[in-house]
């Protein structure tokens, strides 16, 4: 299981990484491995606003469908449209080309509430 040392995490397996004043979000390597072959991704509209913990989308695999949760309050400024045609990128590059959304956080202090890479690794290993 790979963990991005520059990201922070939710126990529900979403990662978040700072990119300037935006937050980029995706699902972890552990999550894509558990889901198996990803076949569909449903992402929100640009301009939509969500609160921390809200469901912002869904990722479906041949095994299951999983809700995607916001790591912080914010407004969606970009979605990864490539995933509409190539959802399988999530399996091959979960921390790179397969990011899901970019959002502008409305409460940047929530960053401090997210799990560190080491804390997330403990959560993920406990599930195995």
53: alpha, beta or left, given left = phi > 0 and alpha = psi -120 to 50?
Answer: left
Task: Provide the pLDDT confidence category of residue 128 given band limits of 50, 70 and 90.
Answer: confident
pLDDT tens figures, 36-60? 999 999 999 999 999 999 999 999 9
Task: Provide the pLDDT confidence category of residue 100 given band limits of 50, 70 and 90.
Answer: very high
pLDDT above 90: residue 95: yes
pLDDT above 90: residue 65: yes
Whole-number Å distance between alpha carbons of 7 and 18: 8
Q: Tell me what the mean pLDDT of segment 5-12 comes to.
A: 96
What residues does each domain of the chain span? 8-105
Q: Which fold has domain 8-105?
A: OB fold (Dihydrolipoamide Acetyltransferase, E2P) (2.40.50)
By the 8 A CB rule, do 98 and 15 touch? no
By the 8 A CB rule, do 23 and 102 touch? yes
pLDDT tens figures, 75-92? 999 999 999 999 999 999
């Amino acid at each position: 299981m790979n963990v991005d040392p520059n990201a922070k995490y939710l126990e529900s397996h979403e990662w978040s990484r700072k990119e300037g004043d935006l937050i980029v979000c995706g699902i972890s390597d552990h999550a894509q491995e558990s889901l198996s072959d990803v076949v569909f991704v449903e992402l929100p509209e640009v301009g939509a606003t969500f609160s921390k913990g809200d469901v912002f989308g869904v990722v479906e695999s041949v095994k299951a469908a999983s809700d995607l949760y916001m790591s912080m309050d914010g407004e969606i400024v970009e979605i990864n449209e490539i995933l509409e045609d190539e959802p399988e990128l999530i399996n091959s590059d979960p921390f790179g080309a397969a990011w899901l959304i970019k959002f502008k956080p409305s409460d940047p202090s929530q960053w401090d509430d997210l799990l560190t890479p080491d804390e997330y690794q403990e959560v993920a290993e406990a599930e195995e």
